[in-house]
Amino acid sequence: MKKFFLCVTLLLSIVSVYADNFSDKFLNKKWILEYYNEIIYYEDRNLLLNYIPKYKNQKDLLFQRKTLLDECDYWYDTISDTSIIYLLFEAFEINDINQINNNYYKISLQSGFIDSEKYNNNLENGCDWKNKDIKIENLYYKFDGDYLYIYLNDSSNLLTTYCAYEESEYTTLIKILQTNENLYNTISLPRHADGTCDYNINNIKNTSIQKHQTFTSTTKTNVSLYKTMFVKENLKLRSGEATSTQVLAVMQAGTKVKILELGKAETIDGISSNWVKVEVQSDAKDRDGKPIKAGTVGWCYGGYLK
């Protein structure tokens, strides 16, 4: 279906790709949406239904699939000499790729537009995009170990996050979803470039996964991955996991955030918790009552969340 979709949408134009090693990032790996980590972490295939609304009443159709629903793919058509970035049901034709540094790329595209109809259709099919009603001219790809962060038009507007798995692990995950066999111990959760993992070792049932990961957490933490929480009091949203980092905003008490990543453990004001990377949810405001854009990502101290 993917190849058919691409064939009917590709334009026959010449593309200059300046970053030759960009395609190497996709060799022998499958980049799939971050939420598949949760299925592996909790050993529960039914969690996938939380992310793909269209299958909630027809889950058998989902579990009969022979491919995962969302795969980030860099695809090159040798016939038309056209390069494509493929994200779920959207194919983006590339003008050029410029390497900013070793793991960071700017991708200039043939202009496209994600309107509300496309946005909602992709959400129904398992997309976790943070933006809609936006013209897309550039994508920024930031690779961090097994993680890939994709930004829209500038380097701070996060669109989505993917994680890399070996092709054999990808095949195993499909088998797990199809048959519900307990084969999770043959799959390792992704790690960042510094070797850390976003998952709490105390909750993992697979000893084989534990062998492959380095975890950062505290036994007294009140936070956990993917949990939605509220700010207890005005709380600084920072660029990193330390009080010395840049303040992006001061979130008003009651602001709702979703935890994307667990950072280092620390005790502040007698509270033991983790620094957490969070995504600000809708209707957020700063301490002055000004809106904070939904989807804004930053770090805050988890001890001040409830």
What DSSP character marks residue 24?
A: G
The pLDDT value given to residue 64: 86
Percentage above 70 pLDDT, the chain: 77
In whole angstroms, what is the distance from residue 225 CA to residue 44 CA? 16
The pLDDT of residue 82: 76
User: Parallel, antiparallel, or unpaired: how do β-strands 196-197 and 214-215 relate?
Assistant: parallel
Average pLDDT over residues 79-90: 72
Q: Taking a C-beta distance cutoff of 8 angstroms, is the pair 231, 255 a contact?
A: yes
Tens digits of residue pLDDT in 197-223: 877 544 444 433 333 333 333 334 567
Kindly calculate the radius of gyration of the chain based on its CA atoms and give it in whole angstroms.
20
Q: What is the pLDDT of residue 274?
A: 85
Task: Provide the mean pLDDT of the chain.
Answer: 77
Span 64-89, average pLDDT: 74
Residue 91 pLDDT = 77
For residues 119 and 78, which has the higher predicted lDDT (pLDDT)? 119
Residue 172: its pLDDT value, please?
94
Closest CA to 126 of 211, 52, 43, 36: 52
State yes or no: pLDDT of 49 exceeds 50.
yes
Quick one: average pLDDT of 123-130? 66
What is the pTM for the complete model shown? 0.60
| pLDDT tops 60 at residue 30 | yes
CA 295 to chain centre: 12
| The pLDDT value given to residue 131 | 62
Q: How many residues does the chain have?
A: 306
Q: What is the pLDDT of residue 89?
A: 67
Select from 249, 196, 237, 34 the least CA-distant residue to 130: 34
Residues 177-194 pLDDT 10s: 999 999 988 898 898 888
Residue-by-residue DSSP string for 148-205: EEEEESSTT-EEEEEEEEEHHHHHHHHHHHHH----GGG-PPP--TTSEESS-GGG--
Do the beta carbons of residue 276 and residue 262 sit within 8 Å?
yes
pLDDT digit string, tens, across residues 259-269: 988 888 877 77
pLDDT score at 80? 63
Residue 22, SS3 per DSSP: helix
Predicted confidence band of residue 113 (pLDDT cuts 50, 70, 90): low
Q: Is the pLDDT of residue 123 over 50?
A: yes
CB of 208 closer than 8 Å to CB of 185: yes
Tell me: pLDDT of 165 over 90: yes
Range 22-34 average pLDDT: 87
How much is the pLDDT for 143?
Answer: 92
Is the pLDDT at 278 greater than 90? The verdict is yes
pLDDT higher for 230 or 225? 230
So what's the pLDDT on residue 221?
Answer: 52
Average pLDDT over residues 91-104: 87
Distance between CA 234 and CA 249 in Å, rounded? 10
Tell me the C-alpha distance between 241 and 262, whole Å. Answer: 10
Token readout for 5 is 């979709």
Give how far Cα 30 sits from Cα of 34, 53, 271, Å: 12, 23, 40
Q: Hey, what are 183's tokens? A: 């084969």
Cβ atoms of 125 and 103 within 8 Å: the answer is no
For residue 77, CA distances in Å to 12, 25, 87, 94 come to 10, 17, 16, 11
31 strand-pairing partners: 72, 164
